[in-house]
Structure 1
Amino acid sequence: MTTLDTTTPTGGIRTARHGVLRLGLARVYYEARMYFRTPDSVFFTFLFPFIMLAIFTAAFGSAGNIGTAPDGSGGVSVGAYYLPGMLAAGMLLSGVQNLAVDIAGEKSDGTLKRLGGTPLSPLSYFIGKIGMVLVTGTIQAALLILVARFLLDIALPTDPSTWLTFAWVFLFGVIACAFLGIALSALPRSGKSATAVVIPIVLILQFISGVYLQFYVLPEWMQNVASLFPLKWMAQGMRSVFLPDSFASLEQNGVWDLPLVALNLGIWLVVGLVLSRVTFRWIRKDS
C-alpha cells in the first residue's frame, strides 16, 4: 500500500493545514467555555435580546397589533414584529460587540502576546473565535425562538423554504459580524476603553437598522445610511422569515429583495475577512 510522504512539499502543506484546523477547533471549545464563564458577556450579548423582546412586548403589547388594515384586521403582535430585529441584534452583539471587546481586552492584558509566542497561528485563532460565535449565536437564536413560541405565543413559519432562508441569513450574518468584530478590536487603544468605543457604534446601528424602531417610519436619509451596514440587511432578511408577505411593502424598496440581502451580507463578509486579516496583530503596533 502506498502511503503519503509528509516530508514532500504537498504532504507538508496538508499536514500544516490539518494542524491549523485542529488547533482552531480546539480553540472553539475553549472560547465557548470561557464565554459562558464571563457574566458581563453573557448578559450584554447573550441575554440582552431576550430582555429587550420582553420589554417591548410588555410595554407596547396593549397598543394592539402592528400593520393592521383600516378595518382593524390583520397585522402581527408587537412581540412577533420585534422578534426578527432581536434575532439580528443577537447576531451583531455576539459577533461585533463581543469579539471587539473581548479581543481588545486580550490584547491589552497580554493574552495575545503570549499566544503569539505559541504555535497557534492567526488562522487557528480566527477559527476559534468565529466557531465560538457560531455556537453561542446558534444557541441564542434557538432559545429566543423557543421563548417567542412558547412564552410569548408567537406563531412561527411552517414552510421549510422559509427556514432555509433563515439558515443562510443567519450563517452569512454571524460570520460577517465575527470578522467585523475581529477587525473592530484594533480600534480601541486599550481593553478599558473597548466598551466605550464599541457599544455606541453597535447601539446606533441597532436604532437606525429597524431593531428598536420600526424601520419604515424612519426618515429616508436614515434608511439610506443604515443600508450601508450589514445589520439592516440581517434584520430585513429575518423579517422576510417571520413576518407575513404583506409587510414586504413596508421595506425601503417595497419588497423583501433577498438576492440583495445575500449580496450585501456577502460583501460585508469579504470586507470583514480582509479587514480582520490586515488589522490583526498579536500586539499593538504602538506598544
Structure 2
Amino acid sequence: MSGTGVSGTAIDTAADADRSRTDRLPSAWSLGLARGALEVKQFFRLREQVVFTFAFPIVFLFLFASIFADTMENTGSTASQHYVASMIASGIMATSFQSLGISIAVERDEKALRRLRGTPMPPAAYFLGKIWLVLVTGVLETALLLLFGTTVYDLDLPSTADKWLTFGWIFVLGLTACALLGIAVSSVPRSAKSANSVVVLPFLVLQFISGVYILVDTLPHWMLGIGALFPLKWMVQGLRGVFLPETAAVLEPAGSWEFGHIALVLGAWCVGGLLLCLLTFRWKNRGEN
C-alpha cells in the first residue's frame, strides 16, 4: 500500500511538473512579437529591398507632382498636394498587400512555411509577425511621405484632433484590409518566380483606376466604378479628405469625402479579407504531399 502511495505521489508530482512547464510556455502573442522582431530585422538586412520599398513611392510622387504641379481652380490646393495624399495611400498598400503577397509566396515556394508549420510555434504567431512587419514599414513609409510632402510641396498637416483621428482609423483599417488581401493573394502564384507578376500587375492597375496616378476628375466613370470595388480607392479618397481643404471635395465623384462610406467599405474588406485568408491560405504549394 505504501509503495502504491509513493508511486501515486510520484506520478502526481510529474504531472504537476508537466502542467507547470506547459503553463510557462510562451503565448502566441509573445511568440508573434518575437517573430515580428525577426521579420523586421530580416527586412532591414536586405538593403536593396529597403531602398526600393521606401524610395519607390517617393520617386513616383516627385515625378507626378512635378509634371502636374499647377494650382487647381476652386479647390484651394495644388495637384502636387493631391498626389502626396494619394501616394500615402499607395505606400500603405505597397507595404502590406504587395509586400505580403510576394514574400509569403516566396517563403511557401522555398518550403519555409512547411518547415515552420512542423514546429511547435502556433500558426497565429507567424501571422502576427507579418502584421508587425507591415505595421513598422507602413508607419515608416507614411512618415517619409509626409515629411517629403510637407517639405517640398507645402502639404498642410491636420490642424484638429478630429482630422488626426480620421487619419488614424483610415490608416489602421486600410493597412489591415490590404495586409489580409496580401496574405490571401499569396496563395495564387504557383511559384516564387510568378509572384511578382501575379501581385504587382493588379496593384499597378488599381493605382491608375483608384485616383493615385490619374486625378479622379479625369478618370472615366466606369474605371472609377471598378476601382470603387477595392479598398485603395477609398483610402486615397479618405486621405485626400484629411490633408486637403474642404473645397477640394468638389473633385470627388460624390462632391464630398464620404468618410462614413469609407469606414464601411474598409471595414467590410477587413472582414472579407479575413474570410479569404481562412479559405485560401496554404502552407504548401499545390501538388505537394
2:173 pairs with 1:172:
yes
Which residue pairs with 1:60 in the alignment? 68
Structure 2 stretches of 5 or more lacking a match?
1-14
Which residue pairs with 1:144 in the alignment? 145
- CA deviations on 1:84-103 (whole Å, 9 max, x unpaired) are 11011011111111100000
Count of equivalent residues: 271
C-alpha distance in structure 2 between counterparts of 1:171 and 1:117, whole Å: 32
Pick one of 30, 38, 50 that aligns with 2:38: 30
Q: 4+ runs of 1 displaced by more than 3 Å?
A: 14-18
Shift, 1:46, TM fit: 2.5
Contact 2:77 2:248 in 1 (8 A): no
Shift, 1:41, TM fit: 3.3
Cα gap change, 1:257 to 1:37, in 2 (>3 Å)? same
SS at match of 2:282: coil
TM-score (norm 1): 0.88
- CA deviations on 1:157-176 (whole Å, 9 max, x unpaired) are 21121011000000000011
Contact 2:86 2:236 in 1 (8 A): yes
Q: What amino acid is aligned across from residue 265 of structure 1 in structure 2?
A: L
Which residue pairs with 1:120 in the alignment? 121
Contact 1:53 1:83 in 2 (8 A): yes
- CA deviations on 1:234-286 (whole Å, 9 max, x unpaired) are 11110110111112222122211111100000010111111112222221232
Q: What amino acid is aligned across from residue 71 of structure 2 in structure 1?
A: N
Shift, 1:58, TM fit: 2.2
Which residue pairs with 1:272 in the alignment? 273
Shift, 1:82, TM fit: 0.6
Structure 1 stretches of 5 or more lacking a match?
1-6
Shift, 1:32, TM fit: 1.3
- CA deviations on 1:59-108 (whole Å, 9 max, x unpaired) are 232xx212x13xxxx63223211111101101111111110000000011
Cα gap change, 1:107 to 1:65, in 2 (>3 Å)? same
SS at match of 1:119: coil
C-alpha distance in structure 2 between counterparts of 1:17 and 1:139, whole Å: 33
TM-score (norm 2): 0.88
Which structure has the larger Rg? 2
CA RMSD of aligned residues (A): 2.1
Shift, 1:57, TM fit: 2.3
Which residue pairs with 1:283 in the alignment? 284
- CA deviations on 1:6-41 (whole Å, 9 max, x unpaired) are x99xx99x9699611111111111111212223453
Q: How many percent identity over aligned positions?
A: 44
Which residue pairs with 2:27 in the alignment? 19
